[in-house]
Chain A
Amino acid sequence: MLKVTNLHAGYGRMPILHGVDLAVPAGEITLVLGPNGAGKSTLLRSIGGFIRPTEGKVSLDGKDITGRAPDRMVSEGLRLVLDGHRVFPQLSVRDNLRLGVADRSEDYAARLGDVFGVFPVLEERLDQAASSLSGGQQQMLALAQAFLARPRVLLVDEPSLGIAQMLVPTILNFLRSWADKGTAVLLVEQRIDIAVPFADSVSVLRGGKIALSGPASDFTDVGEIERVYLEGAD
């Protein structure tokens, strides 16, 4: 389980997070909602080692991993999928997948098979450049690349952003099945409607703090979240 305690972080001099507490248990999807500029990406980036927190702690199964370099985070079993379906555009789909793991261990082929089972389009376009894929397919590729690394914790930044609506359930279902196999998934989204049904618990981030949180079943009425979005919590 990933545990975040009293996290403060920002860009340069600009403070963004003002003490975030969060627990991401294994086998669950923890959804963090929040309006534009609430600090969602900053939260993921400071957990993933891209931004060194100014205060607070990030621990994975009890081990303190605060402020490690991103590649160390990956070897600890924590994998971040950045927003904006980031893939390596000039590399083929095959090479993009290949970069998911440094050493191709014995069951790489089996894992690859799993990926192709969920996203057959990746197998069809294996030798094409990633730049030729649609936004949604690139998002699938980015997630598949992370999947191959078999992380214990997966952080996903707004996977629904900039992709066709019809693909969103496919992607969220993939995350759901991933979590069901025991992975701790921290999912960040701006839009309230789409991700809540797939999540186990929900937190709402606003102004760099958690304004609201609870089990996903409590969030059937969106009025409360809406109020936090539009009115402000502070």
Chain B
Amino acid sequence: MTELTSHDTAARGSFPNVSPLWVGIAVVAASVLIPGFSGNQYWSYSFTLVALYTAVAVFQNILMSEAGQFSLGQGVIFGVGAVTAASLTTLFGYPYWLSAIGGFVAGLLMGALYAGPALRVQGYYLGFVTLSAALVFPQLVIAFDSVTGGVNGVPVYVGALVTPIVGTLTPLSLLAIALAVGALSLHYVFPKTRLGRKMIVSSVSTESAQSLGTNPGVIRFIAFLIAAAGTALAGILYVPLIGFVGPTNFRVDFSVLFFLAVIVGGQGKLLAPILGIWIVYLVPNVLLADFSHLRLMIYGLVALFVMLVFPDGLVGSIEKWWTARRPADTRTSFSLQDVFDALPETAGEGAASQDDRPLVSVRGATKYFGNAVALDGAGLDIRQGTIHGLVGPNGSGKTTMLNAVSGFLKLDSGAVRLFDHDVVAMPAWKRARLGLARTFQTPRIFEALSIRDNIRIGAEGHGGAQNSGFMEALATRDLPWLDRNPSLLPHGQRRLLEILRVLESDAPVILLDEPAGGLSAEERKDLARLLVHFRDKIGKTILLVEHDLSMVWQVADDITVMELGTVAAQGAPDEIRNDANVKKLFTGV
């Protein structure tokens, strides 16, 4: 967090010199303060409400883009907060501030209720569940009229908050500004925090998150709670502002409003909620107030129009246009020499203590997919401080074996031991925390993060205490590529970047799934050099699943050859190489 300011200007596509955060803060503050000071009651009220809605939309934006969660029912959380606060104040006679705490807690509980189904289902299933909640909520408010005031609603007056300080500016207006600005600031900082990075990783690839030692379910739960907290705060401020809370305030389209605002503005963009709320709420409700019967029609047409013409949302499309206009650097790359210079050398222990005790041991692994056998009693031992090559024709079970070791696959039968622990029943993220890191066939690179952060997340799943010091060594060197966006990296470097991430985790055992795929001859040499350095200078133990046989012969200490889910041969490269059966496997001769 300390180097926050050192690299935020590097974000690709942002407008030069002006941070979008300051633009957002200025817009929100001015829109409330100007009518306030000039004493315009109507605009003061409208823009205070807009500020509250903006805050809700910002949290919807965080929930959608950083956490990848799709909720059409944020209005319910807002409503639960508002109805609870209003009922406690007026019907039960508690002071407003105490009622507000009650409303806040109720909103949080509602968020937790959403998180429950979110652990089980995703995507539009979750969308439907939350949309159902939005449909049912006003009905339930009416049904439970003894505690909610029912269809007639509840009037609320909180004098202290709505008495103007100057002009028509009330303490409530200032609170609304504070909430919206706070929400924007949170969204600005969030991707640069450890939790934010974990959330981004979990939303892009749950597998990646697990391989980095993160439990994606927990992260998802936290995301819903954060969004619920901000939304409920807006809900309880809404009560004194509007002075009346009833079921008609929270119809289905109220919930959909926040979702559409983010989409129209441009999902993931900091300023999208401001622009989105202005377009889908302010324009139809306030500017075109004389056409209020057309409100829903405008709302639907705008959403349709934006989706067809600006599929990335307004802010997103403007930003895209801006980047395309600039003669942008089409490629970026990092220097592998920089990397080698910074690589730690902690050889001593790793190489010296090379006993024959296997760090990874698989016995009798069997796995069927329907009737097809993927693993048929295969086993292997990976000795400490070695590179173990795992080869075989297509469909022979190499990747299945790797998944069985890393925990992404549940074996039908067989034993898996990691560092002398029985891990058969252990989920992938816990195995990662034992000291297991892996890469994937398609490199998992997170374009919402800088190259630096893409490496740094390697160490973060493990609780943060351990890291290899590699990143720190790199950081001292003042390398400009560290803060660039990885989206411009060529494929080969994306692979190497993922491997550097694995290195940063300080996990003693590394599983690599076809790391040479798509690499040029030159890049393959770099990769081989990197792997040998890992083993000889840092003492890593590596399982290498690879098509490129020449590379495996070159670097591996032991080789396991698989065929049809069984082990066809096992031994040192020279033995394997001259094995007639093995040759036949690969060439058919």
Contact present between A and B (CB < 8 A): yes
Task: Using CB atoms and an 8 Å cutoff, list the residues of chain A in contact with chain B.
Answer: 10-16, 35-37, 161-162, 190-194, 207, 222, 225-226, 229-232, 234
Known: A226-B583, A230-B586. A37 touches B491 (CB 8 A): no
Known: A207-B521, A229-B587. A190 touches B394 (CB 8 A): yes
The A/B interface has a contact count, at CB < 8 Å, of 60
User: What 20 new A-B contacts, CB under 8 Å, besides A10-B518, A11-B442, A192-B589?
Assistant: A12-B442, A13-B494, A14-B491, A14-B517, A14-B518, A35-B549, A36-B394, A36-B547, A37-B514, A37-B517, A162-B395, A191-B587, A191-B588, A193-B587, A193-B589, A207-B521, A230-B586, A231-B550, A232-B550, A234-B521
Q: Tell me, in angstroms, the Cα distance from A225 to B548 when the chains sit together.
A: 15
Known: A13-B494, A15-B491, A35-B547. A194 touches B588 (CB 8 A): yes
From B521, B547, B583, B588, name the one whose CB has the most chain A CB atoms within 10 angstroms. B588
Does residue B393 face the partner (Cβ distance < 8 Å to A)?
yes
Chain B neighbourhood of A192, CB < 8 A: 587-589
Q: Tell me, in angstroms, the Cα distance from A161 to B372 when the chains sit together.
A: 14
Q: Report whether B517 and A190 are in contact in the complex, using a CB–CB cutoff of 8 Å.
A: no
Known: A35-B549, A37-B517. A161 touches B587 (CB 8 A): no
Min Cβ gap A132→B in Å is 12
Q: Mark B33-55, 1 if CB is under 8 A from A, else 0.
A: 00000000000000000000000
Q: How many residues of B contact A (CB 8 A)?
A: 20
Chain B neighbourhood of A222, CB < 8 A: 587, 589
Q: Report whether A230 and B549 are in contact in the complex, using a CB–CB cutoff of 8 Å.
A: yes
Q: Mark B500-542, 1 if CB is under 8 A from A, else 0.
A: 0000000000000010011001000000000000000000000
Does residue B311 face the partner (Cβ distance < 8 Å to A)?
no
Known: A14-B517, A207-B521, A222-B587. A37 touches B548 (CB 8 A): yes
Q: Tell me, in angstroms, the Cα distance from A12 to B548 when the chains sit together.
A: 21
Min Cβ gap A189→B in Å is 8
Closest residue of A by beta carbon distance from B487: A13
Q: Tell me, in angstroms, the Cα distance from A194 to B588 when the chains sit together.
A: 8
Does residue B490 face the partner (Cβ distance < 8 Å to A)?
yes
Q: Report whether B491 and A161 are in contact in the complex, using a CB–CB cutoff of 8 Å.
A: no
Within 8 A of A (CB), among B560-589: 583, 586-589
Q: Report whether B589 and A226 are in contact in the complex, using a CB–CB cutoff of 8 Å.
A: yes
Chain A neighbourhood of B547, CB < 8 A: 35-37
Closest residue of B by beta carbon distance from A37: B547
Q: Which 9 A-B pairs have the closest CB atoms?
A: A191-B588, A37-B547, A14-B518, A232-B550, A193-B588, A36-B547, A234-B521, A13-B491, A192-B588
Closest residue of A by beta carbon distance from B546: A37
Closest residue of B by beta carbon distance from A162: B395
Q: Tell me, in angstroms, the Cα distance from A38 to B7 when the chains sit together.
A: 40
Q: Report whether A190 and B442 are in contact in the complex, using a CB–CB cutoff of 8 Å.
A: no
Which of A12, A16, A225 sits near B587, CB closer than 8 Å? Answer: A225
Chain A neighbourhood of B517, CB < 8 A: 14, 37
Min Cβ gap A221→B in Å is 10
Min Cβ gap B349→A in Å is 35
Q: Tell me, in angstroms, the Cα distance from A200 to B501 when the chains sit together.
A: 48
Chain A neighbourhood of B395, CB < 8 A: 161-162
Min Cβ gap A102→B in Å is 30
Q: Tell me, in angstroms, the Cα distance from A16 to B491 when the chains sit together.
A: 10
Q: Tell me, in angstroms, the Cα distance from A222 to B589 when the chains sit together.
A: 8
Known: A36-B393, A229-B549, A232-B550. A16 touches B586 (CB 8 A): no
Known: A14-B517, A35-B549, A207-B521. A190 touches B490 (CB 8 A): no
Chain B neighbourhood of A230, CB < 8 A: 549-550, 583, 586-587
Min Cβ gap B125→A in Å is 23
Chain B neighbourhood of A193, CB < 8 A: 587-589
Closest residue of A by beta carbon distance from B441: A14
Within 8 A of A (CB), among B465-521: 490-491, 494, 514, 517-518, 521
Closest residue of B by beta carbon distance from A225: B587
Chain B neighbourhood of A194, CB < 8 A: 588
Q: Tell me, in angstroms, the Cα distance from A225 to B394 when the chains sit together.
A: 19
25 A-B residue pairs with Cβ-Cβ distance under 8 Å, sorted by A, are A13-B491, A14-B442, A15-B518, A35-B549, A36-B394, A36-B586, A37-B514, A37-B547, A161-B394, A190-B393, A190-B394, A190-B588, A193-B588, A194-B588, A207-B521, A226-B583, A226-B589, A229-B587, A230-B549, A230-B550, A230-B583, A230-B586, A232-B549, A232-B550, A234-B521
Chain B neighbourhood of A229, CB < 8 A: 549, 586-587
From B514, B517, B518, B549, name the one whose CB has the most chain A CB atoms within 10 angstroms. B518
Chain B neighbourhood of A162, CB < 8 A: 395
Q: Report whether A10 and B550 are in contact in the complex, using a CB–CB cutoff of 8 Å.
A: no
Chain A neighbourhood of B587, CB < 8 A: 191-193, 222, 225-226, 229-230
Chain A neighbourhood of B514, CB < 8 A: 37
Q: Report whether B583 and A10 are in contact in the complex, using a CB–CB cutoff of 8 Å.
A: no
Q: Tell me, in angstroms, the Cα distance from A229 to B491 when the chains sit together.
A: 24
Q: Tell me, in angstroms, the Cα distance from A15 to B494 when the chains sit together.
A: 12
Q: Report whether A16 and B588 are in contact in the complex, using a CB–CB cutoff of 8 Å.
A: no
Closest residue of B by beta carbon distance from A223: B589
Chain B neighbourhood of A226, CB < 8 A: 583, 587, 589
Q: Report whether A35 and B586 are in contact in the complex, using a CB–CB cutoff of 8 Å.
A: yes
Min Cβ gap A174→B in Å is 20
Q: Tell me, in angstroms, the Cα distance from A234 to B551 when the chains sit together.
A: 12
Chain A neighbourhood of B442, CB < 8 A: 11-12, 14
Q: Report whether A13 and B549 are in contact in the complex, using a CB–CB cutoff of 8 Å.
A: no
Q: Tell me, in angstroms, the Cα distance from A222 to B517 when the chains sit together.
A: 25
Min Cβ gap B574→A in Å is 13
Min Cβ gap B559→A in Å is 13
Chain A neighbourhood of B548, CB < 8 A: 37, 232
Min Cβ gap A129→B in Å is 14
Closest residue of A by beta carbon distance from B514: A37
Q: Report whether A10 and B586 are in contact in the complex, using a CB–CB cutoff of 8 Å.
A: no
Q: Tell me, in angstroms, the Cα distance from A181 to B349 when the chains sit together.
A: 68
Q: Tell me, in angstroms, the Cα distance from A229 to B587 when the chains sit together.
A: 7
Q: Tell me, in angstroms, the Cα distance from A82 to B583 when the chains sit together.
A: 27
